[in-house]
Amino acid sequence: MRTVRDESGRRYLLLKRSDESSLVRDPRTGDETYLKNDRLRFADGESPLETAARRVGPATRRVLTAVPNERALGLLVELHDRGPLSVRELLSAYDLCESDIHGYLAEFRAAGLVEERRVAGERGYGLTDTATDGLEPLIGDFGQ
């Protein structure tokens, strides 16, 4: 499988190629269609798996690529559910050491998922709109 682009620059996953046309899949919708080969160019240097990942919204992709483990994901979920929290609250409420919390928060800040906030007069952190948008499709009622 390879990534191809049409004349407008739209990306597709090349599934099958014949003499005159190719079966391609739109990574945003999953729809498959045949396009004439003369309309398609190979997108060199672009992994078909990266192209396939475009099916997931950009905010959710950012959350998924920034979260290294379940504890870090849980931190984002807690910020989502409880709103901005002070650093003091984060340190006392969860079973993470100070360096882990600050490490996760630094990574999330770099990814644009959290931002520093004042919480009850103290330094704290809250989610950005990108993080909220990215978490929404992931959070559900799964019955624990």
The stretches in the chain having pLDDT less than 70 are 141-144
Q: Which part of the chain is CATH 2.30.30?
A: 2-55
Give pLDDT, residue 98.
92
Between CA 47 and CA 101 the distance in angstroms is: 33
Between CA 50 and CA 54 the distance in angstroms is: 7
Give pLDDT, residue 141.
63
pTM of the shown model:
0.78
Between CA 65 and CA 33 the distance in angstroms is: 30
Q: Which part of the chain is CATH 1.10.10.10?
A: 59-135
Q: Which amino acid belongs to residue 101?
A: I
pLDDT digits (tens, 9 = 90+) for 73-90: 999 999 999 999 999 999
Give pLDDT, residue 142.
56
The domain at 59-135 falls in which architecture?
A: Orthogonal Bundle (1.10)
Rg (CA), the chain: 21
CATH fold of 2-55 reads SH3 type barrels. (2.30.30)
The beta-carbon contacts of 89-92 under 8 Å, at least 24 apart in sequence, are 89/119, 89/124, 90/124, 90/125
